[in-house]
């Protein structure tokens, strides 16, 4: 597909808002699995929502950030996030979201010892969720009111609330609430001396938590079960669980739970008579409790540490910790009394009576809502199972079912396989949101271009299929494909730019080209590959197509195996100082030592890798091998650096920056030892914002590769988060010579160097092959050069770096 950019513009609001909702959904889904990851996703959602004015998305993102802070014990930050989100939700009339924020404020107030305030939040939350028939919210509120009594050590009162919350959560099938209420009910049983019941319930809950992937609940349950087992005298089992609990809590960053499980581990070790080990563990627990200012844990940790030190004969230390325990216990007792005075029993009783009185009405209302929601959900699922979510076209499964039906009915038909030309360029340059809007427009044009009864489907990505009914020859099918090609080619306006869509279309006709679904689709696809060679054309299936397609498939399979068999090789080309010709860096260039075809250049296999999932695995190998080789060379030349080409797909991988930094650390290399060569389109996302790996805080050095080709923009040089700019060899080779009829590129190269220096970038000229080119570049102040004039790409064992260092 070709297109002609006009002016830059942000993606349409509705597409950006969908991205915000998706990020919030992902954050909500991983909240109990990785609090840090949930906060990262919610922060991205908040940033995008603020940019696009999506207030509902902002409110939800702030709430999720609040819960992340809560689970990481950052209570002031959690409270601030909940308050801001609740105010915005109230202004927008989002009752369910406001109630969930009130729940967050309540549990945060409990953690900070403000139980009176917590009760007020809980009652407001309960009234809200009752008013909108939110059974999930009711279960959450009941569970947290039980938790309030649990903190007051009123376990007899807490248990019925937790059991009622568990019953309601089970009725609606809410797995997280089931897990939470079960954990709390088991705590009640433990404190009431019902150890066997506590252990049984915890074991059941642990199985569910592991199946659902609730890491925080899993670690909490391990800690609680170890306490159950300790109370039952099963010390070896308890110790094994504490080891798992410590590891899990450290990995998850749950320091409060880590403190609990360390106290239990110390008690178990003391029970086994392993006094030195018990002392070490309890000292760590006491220090953590002091750091986190967890008064109850301070009392427990210092008390048990005092007993252990007494057994070891360290009486002064034992006395010291006993006094700390007594002071903490006194503070706990005073705090509980203060909190009980805050919590008025009449408020709880009245609220509980109101809940009972409303119960029957709410259950009826819930049933009605559930039935309506179920019907809507069934209709939605039935539609989603048959249609593409983005375009609304039939999906692949529905198309194949319709094609199968036509074959069984012995209809004459044609199948078109359509692939948009250069669509990847749109995604890389303008962003995925614009790409999605273009796909929607293509789908609409396809539907308008076919007859009644013909079917259009989206196969995935930028590929579409069409079923042409009552087609008796290739000529009829090709004529229909030609009409589609003409309809797609009309210019369209998107994001302030004029885009012209072209496509490659393959044609297969039944029964000549196949009598089953697989053959017809495969042969239309093969014909499309033939059309791809010319672009913007239609080709019919020919039997000879199968051979070429098979060769490409075999090459892809061989490359996949070659990566596993370590058949890839790196050759290195020096990049030298333009004035002194001293080596500054080496560019790592991949080759493939094919067992049958010999050493293959990248042009033979990189396109295959980029069209499949292999480019990421290949890129990872190149990074690792380049770091390994650079470590060897830097032992003699410590300032030497390495540049590595990174594909856009690899660069945009989540966590790519962290992966590269880890590789460098493992190799003992500083971050600035490696330079990542990327294209302009790979650096920026669809909103014009640098990808995470391009952000300055990562410490990674970026070089803009192939600059001066494609859609490179000089006006954006100062915005691009790069440190080097590589002028493409095509411009260097086009500098021109006397008598040449081709317009020379000398002014362009000179201007690029000037603009790059103004933007604070170092300039590398690629493809320098003649002394005259070097002299020009030196005169123009180019920083670095690379090309055959200096050295060709060479295997590391054949590269003579000492000679390069001495040649100047």
Higher pLDDT, 127 or 289: 289
Higher pLDDT, 271 or 384: 271
pLDDT at 396 over 80: yes
Q: Which residues contact 594 (CB under 8 A, 6 or more apart)?
A: 558, 562, 567, 600
pLDDT at 2 over 50: no
Beta-bridge mates of residue 642: 586, 674
Which contacts (CB < 8 Å, 24+ apart) does range 29-36 have?
A: 31/64, 31/67, 31/68, 31/71, 32/176, 32/214, 32/215, 32/216, 32/217, 33/213, 33/214, 33/215, 33/216, 34/215, 34/252, 35/68, 35/71, 35/72, 35/216, 35/252, 35/253, 36/68, 36/72, 36/253
pLDDT at 800 over 80: yes
pLDDT for the residue numbered 461: 86
Q: Hey, what are 637's tokens?
A: 């030349």
Q: What is the rounded average pLDDT of the residues 752-779?
A: 92
Q: Hey, what are 356's tokens?
A: 């009972």
What domains, with CATH codes, occur in the chain? 16-133 (1.25.40.10), 242-329 (1.25.40.10), 396-543 (3.30.70.270), 569-589+611-807 (3.20.20.450)
Which contacts (CB < 8 Å, 24+ apart) does range 626-630 have?
A: 626/570, 626/588, 626/674, 627/663, 627/664, 627/666, 627/667, 627/669, 627/674, 628/667, 629/570, 629/572, 629/588, 629/796, 630/586, 630/667, 630/669, 630/673, 630/674
pLDDT for the residue numbered 550: 62
Rounded CA separation 491/113 (Å): 64
| Count of residues making up the chain | 808
Grade residue 345 by pLDDT with cuts at 50, 70 and 90. Answer: very low
For residue range 644-682, what is the model confidence (pLDDT) as tens digits?
Answer: 999 888 888 888 889 999 999 999 999 999 999 988 767
Grade residue 513 by pLDDT with cuts at 50, 70 and 90. Answer: confident
Pairing of strands 724-727, 701-707: parallel
pLDDT for the residue numbered 734: 67
Beta-bridge mates of residue 374: none
pLDDT for the residue numbered 738: 42
- For every residue of 324-352, which 3-state class applies, written as one string? HHHHHHHHHHHHHHHHHHHCCHHHHHHHH
Range of lowest pLDDT (274-278, 477-481, 543-547) = 543-547
pLDDT for the residue numbered 546: 60
pLDDT for the residue numbered 739: 44
Average pLDDT, the chain: 86
pLDDT at 103 over 70: yes
Cα separation of the two ends of the chain: 48
pLDDT for the residue numbered 270: 94
Q: What does pTM read for this prediction?
A: 0.40
Grade residue 740 by pLDDT with cuts at 50, 70 and 90. Answer: very low
Rounded CA separation 64/45 (Å): 10
For residue 743, the SS3 value is coil
pLDDT for the residue numbered 698: 74
Higher pLDDT, 380 or 13: 380
Grade residue 40 by pLDDT with cuts at 50, 70 and 90. Answer: very high
Grade residue 6 by pLDDT with cuts at 50, 70 and 90. Answer: very low
pLDDT at 12 over 70: no
pLDDT at 693 over 70: no
Rounded CA separation 651/703 (Å): 13
Higher pLDDT, 581 or 679: 581
pLDDT for the residue numbered 783: 96
Beta-bridge mates of residue 456: 466
Q: Judge whether 365 and 133 are in contact, CB under 8 Å.
A: yes
For residue range 399-449, what is the model confidence (pLDDT) as tens digits?
Answer: 999 999 999 988 889 999 999 987 877 887 788 888 899 999 999 999 999
pLDDT for the residue numbered 11: 46
- Considering just the CA atoms, what is the radius of gyration of the chain in Å? 33
pLDDT for the residue numbered 735: 64
């Amino acid at each position: 597909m070709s297109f002609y950019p006009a002016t830059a513009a942000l993606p349409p609001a509705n597409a950006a808002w969908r991205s915000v909702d998706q990020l919030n959904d992902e954050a909500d889904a991983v909240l109990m699995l990785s609090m840090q990851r949930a906060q990262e996703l919610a922060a991205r959602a908040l940033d995008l929502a603020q940019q696009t004015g999506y207030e509902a998305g902002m409110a939800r993102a702030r709430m999720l950030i609040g819960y992340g802070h809560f689970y990481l014990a950052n209570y002031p930050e959690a409270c601030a996030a909940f308050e801001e989100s609740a105010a915005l939700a109230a202004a927008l009339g989002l009752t369910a979201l406001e109630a969930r924020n009130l729940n967050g404020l309540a549990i945060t107030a409990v953690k900070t010892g403000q139980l009176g305030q917590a009760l007020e939040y809980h009652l407001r939350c309960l009234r809200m969720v009752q008013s909108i028939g939110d059974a999930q919210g009711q279960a959450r509120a009941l569970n947290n009111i039980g938790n309030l009594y649990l903190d007051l050590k009123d376990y007899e009162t807490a248990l019925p609330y937790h059991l009622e919350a568990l019953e309601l959560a089970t009725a609606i099938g809410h797995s997280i609430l089931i897990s939470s209420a079960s954990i709390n009910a088991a705590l009640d049983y433990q404190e009431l001396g019902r150890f066997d019941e506590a252990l049984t319930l915890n074991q059941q809950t642990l199985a569910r938590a592991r199946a659902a992937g609730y890491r925080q609940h899993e670690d909490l349950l391990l800690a609680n079960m170890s306490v159950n087992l300790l109370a039952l005298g099963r010390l070896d089992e308890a110790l094994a669980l504490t080891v798992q609990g410590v590891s899990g809590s450290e990995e998850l960053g749950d320091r409060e739970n880590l403190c609990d499980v360390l106290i239990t581990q110390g008690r178990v070790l003391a029970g086994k008579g392993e006094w030195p080990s018990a002392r070490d563990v309890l000292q760590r627990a006491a220090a953590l409790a002091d750091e986190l200012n967890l008064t109850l844990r301070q009392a427990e940790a210092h008390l048990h540490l005092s007993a252990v030190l007494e057994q070891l004969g360290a009486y002064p230390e034992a006395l010291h910790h006993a006094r700390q325990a007594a002071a903490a216990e006194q503070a706990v007792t005073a705090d509980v009394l203060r909190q009980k005075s805050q919590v008025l029993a009449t408020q709880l009783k009245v609220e509980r009576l109101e809940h009972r009185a409303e119960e029957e009405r709410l259950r009826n209302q819930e049933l009605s809502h559930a039935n309506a929601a179920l019907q809507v959900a069934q209709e939605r699922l039935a539609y989603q199972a048959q249609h593409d979510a983005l375009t609304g076209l039939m999906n692949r499964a529905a198309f194949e079912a319709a094609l199968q039906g036509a074959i069984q009915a012995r209809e004459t038909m044609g199948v078109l396989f359509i692939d948009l030309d250069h669509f990847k360029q749109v995604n890389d340059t303008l962003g995925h949101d614009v790409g999605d809007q273009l796909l929607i427009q293509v789908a609409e044009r396809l539907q308008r271009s076919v007859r009644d009864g013909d079917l259009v489907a989206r196969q995935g990505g930028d590929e579409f299929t069409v079923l042409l009914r009552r087609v008796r020859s290739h000529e009829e099918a090709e004529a229909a494909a030609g009409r589609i090609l003409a309809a797609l080619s009309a210019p369209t306006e998107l994001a302030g730019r004029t885009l012209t869509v072209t496509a490659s279309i393959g044609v297969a006709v039944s029964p000549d080209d196949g009598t089953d679904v697989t053959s017809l689709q495969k042969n239309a696809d093969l014909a499309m590959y033939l059309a791809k060679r010319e672009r913007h054309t239609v080709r019919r299936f020919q039997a000879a197509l199968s051979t070429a397609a098979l060769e490409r498939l075999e090459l892809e399979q061989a490359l996949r195996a070659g990566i596993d068999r370590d058949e890839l090789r790196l050759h290195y080309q020096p990049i030298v100082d333009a004035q002194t010709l001293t080596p500054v860096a080496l560019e790592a260039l991949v080759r493939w030592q094919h067992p049958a075809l010999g050493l293959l250049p990248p042009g033979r296999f990189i396109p295959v890798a980029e069209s499949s999932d292999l480019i990421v695995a290949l890129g990872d190998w190149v990074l690792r091998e380049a770091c390994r080789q650079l470590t060897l060379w830097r032992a003699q030349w410590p300032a030497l650096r390495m540049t590595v080409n990174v594909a856009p797909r690899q660069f945009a991988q989540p966590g790519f920056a962290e992966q590269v930094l880890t590789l460098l650390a493992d190799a003992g290399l500083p971050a600035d030892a490696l330079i990542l060569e990327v294209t302009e389109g790979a650096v920026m996302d669809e909103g014009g914002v640098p990808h995470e790996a391009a952000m300055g805080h990562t410490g990674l050095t970026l070089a803009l590769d192939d600059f001066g080709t494609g859609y490179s923009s000089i006006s954006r040089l100062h915005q691009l988060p790069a440190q080097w700019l590589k002028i493409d060899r095509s411009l260097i080779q086009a500098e021109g010579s006397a008598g040449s009829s081709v317009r020379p590129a000398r002014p362009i190269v000179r201007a690029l160097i000037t603009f790059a220096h103004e933007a604070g970038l170092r300039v590398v000229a690629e493809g320098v092959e003649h002394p005259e080119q070097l002299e020009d570049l030196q005169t123009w102040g180019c920083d670095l050069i690379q090309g055959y004039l200096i050295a060709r790409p060479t295997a590391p064992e054949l590269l003579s770096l000492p000679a390069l260092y001495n040649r100047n």
